Chain A
């Protein structure tokens, strides 16, 4: 780390990292800069390369080509046990023959920390994850959530400048997961360490991260804050992976400043166009769509598409509707409770402001990877 930096965390630089298994490219030129103390989430469907990236940084997997700097130091070729990086695994990986206390003391013992200090640091780490009373228990006597908290204590007890977490909450139920997400966020704030977190759960990524890197087929599609990814997706894949979305496809016509899509006889327009040759699609977030009954006056909206209600879900804070459009595609709409309510089969019109539609290049793989 450069002098003068306040964070205790290490910066990480991935420079066009590739990893090939035979002919299969698990990672295909991944470049990413992670700032010291940042909470970076690697998000993507399974097989997208996010876990491979984590394993490369941890030193569990060799890379085929590229450069990897941790805290400014080139670590390519450095074995995992000399990297001083904390790792939390999905499967906890606690040593079953050691008590909780000895598990957490393990990395300190290896580093020759003397007994008095070891005891103090183990107690501090266990307190941080609220497992202070369990030092004498064995892993088999703990629940999954408790085991993962012990594993977290073990990974931070030796003050690594970087903590990697590989779907750490993947094996836990929803309620526990949500609570532990907040715990992890708190611990990240208290430690000031760089966290790199792998998940396929976009909600989890939004809750936790400073920034998110979206992986797809061995490449990074986009890096940004949750808001950036949601509001300004760079690709159709990102737009569909983060949050709910409606994708409108149709015969496209572009002039200099706007794009029109012709969908089953109706035309919708957006005051934008995309560069390049790819055919454009429109991506709309559920809260940017409105529905009203057919035939009702629809003044003030630029675009209208007829459809029928295919699903109506009451969410408490509002309602979520799935609207089947004339071309067979389905739009997702979220509306506040105060508005009209609709029932299955109701004929409606889908309305949106063209300025709210994101124009993105069509990418059929975005659908295939998601389903």
Chain B
């Protein structure tokens, strides 16, 4: 059906509005990070790189950033392995118990973060896990697991299991068939699960606020405490850096996926 010019214009305007509404909060951060004064006022005054400098030289910022990278990397690896195994197990189980188990494993996505955080905190106090790397990794893995489970389950859903039968007839044992046929075909799902798991851990704040202590802070915790203490534009600089990093990561991923989809020529 051909659209009338007026409809087209109105539709375009609405889209533009929605786009601005979605992106504006992020883009406000960018100019603020170049502020000359120590304030988070918008619009910013003057231009300076000092907040970026502060981020890279201040040990509070640097160590919390490195902590976050460390925790998120371990969580991503752990959640991807566990989530992939879980997705496999559920895929090959009888439907009814599998659905129950799947729902159980997805609860961390549904349960309010605060509730989860209180529970984790109570247990961690006894177990002396507050402010430890192990504590952060365990808590974040619980939160990241559902994302891996969903992503890998989705690619297993479209995976044709008869290919494994074919591989067996050609001489491949179960492990070889998995490595040479199943894994390459569900790899996109596993990778996107990995990415989600990393992101979940990297920007997790609610649980982290409970189980942090002065010796181990993650970046979101540092940002939060910094902004509640004073209006430090370093927060804006960090935000800009993260924005840039995620844009490159996601954009690159989409480019790669797009090439994959067209098929290797």
User: Taking beta carbons and an 8 Å cutoff, which residues of A are in contact with B?
Assistant: 58-60, 79-82, 84-87, 89, 91, 93, 95-97, 106-107, 110-111, 138, 140-141, 154-155, 158
Contact = CB atoms under 8 A, between A and B. Distances in A.
Nearest to B166: A93
B181 A140 contact: no
A97 B185 contact: yes
A95 B165 CA distance: 11
A106 B170 contact: yes
Contacts of B168: 59-60, 79-81
Interface string B153-168: 0000000101101111
Contacts of B171: 81-82, 84, 107, 110-111, 158
Given A95-B181, A138-B263, A140-B263, A110 B162 contact: no
B169 A87 contact: yes
A316 to B, nearest CB: 41
Given A60-B165, A89-B162, A95-B163, A107 B170 contact: yes
Contacts of A82: 171
Contacts of B170: 81, 106-107, 110, 154-155, 158
Contact of A96 (B176, B177, B185): B185
A58 B264 contact: no
Q: Which 10 A-B pairs have the closest CB atoms?
A: A93-B166, A87-B169, A107-B170, A80-B168, A110-B171, A81-B168, A97-B184, A81-B173, A107-B171, A81-B171
Q: Is the interface of B mostly helix, strand, loop or mixed?
A: helix
Identify the interface centre among B171, B173, B181, B184: most chain A CB within 10 Å of its CB. B171
Contacts of B176: 81, 110
Contacts of B184: 97
Contacts of B264: 138
A85 B173 CA distance: 14
A80 B235 CA distance: 60
A140 B173 CA distance: 26
Find the residue from A82, A106, A158 having the highest chain B CB count within 10 A. Answer: A106
A141 B264 CA distance: 11
B172 interface: yes
B180 interface: yes
A110 B169 CA distance: 11
Nearest to B164: A93
A91 B171 CA distance: 19
Contacts of B172: 81, 106, 110
A201 B181 CA distance: 32
A332 to B, nearest CB: 39
A89 B185 contact: no
B263 to A, nearest CB: 6
Given A82-B171, A89-B162, 7 more contacts: A81-B167, A93-B160, A93-B162, A93-B163, A106-B170, A107-B171, A158-B171
Contacts of B169: 58-60, 80-81, 85-87, 155
Nearest to B185: A97
28 contacts: A58-B169, A59-B169, A79-B173, A80-B168, A80-B169, A81-B168, A81-B170, A81-B172, A81-B173, A82-B171, A84-B171, A87-B166, A89-B165, A89-B166, A91-B162, A93-B162, A93-B166, A96-B185, A97-B185, A106-B172, A106-B180, A107-B171, A110-B170, A111-B171, A138-B264, A140-B263, A141-B263, A158-B171
B178 to A, nearest CB: 12
Contacts of A86: 169
B94 to A, nearest CB: 14
A99 to B, nearest CB: 8
A110 B172 CA distance: 7
A256 B176 CA distance: 67
A86 B167 CA distance: 11
Interface in B126-175: 160, 162-163, 165-173
Most chain A beta-carbon neighbours within 10 Å: one of B163, B170, B172, B173: B170
A138 B170 CA distance: 19
Nearest to B265: A138
A106 B163 CA distance: 13
Contacts of A155: 169-170
Contacts of B185: 96-97
B208 to A, nearest CB: 39
A79 B167 CA distance: 12
A85 B162 CA distance: 16
Interface in B162-216: 162-163, 165-173, 176-177, 180-181, 184-185
Contacts of B173: 79, 81
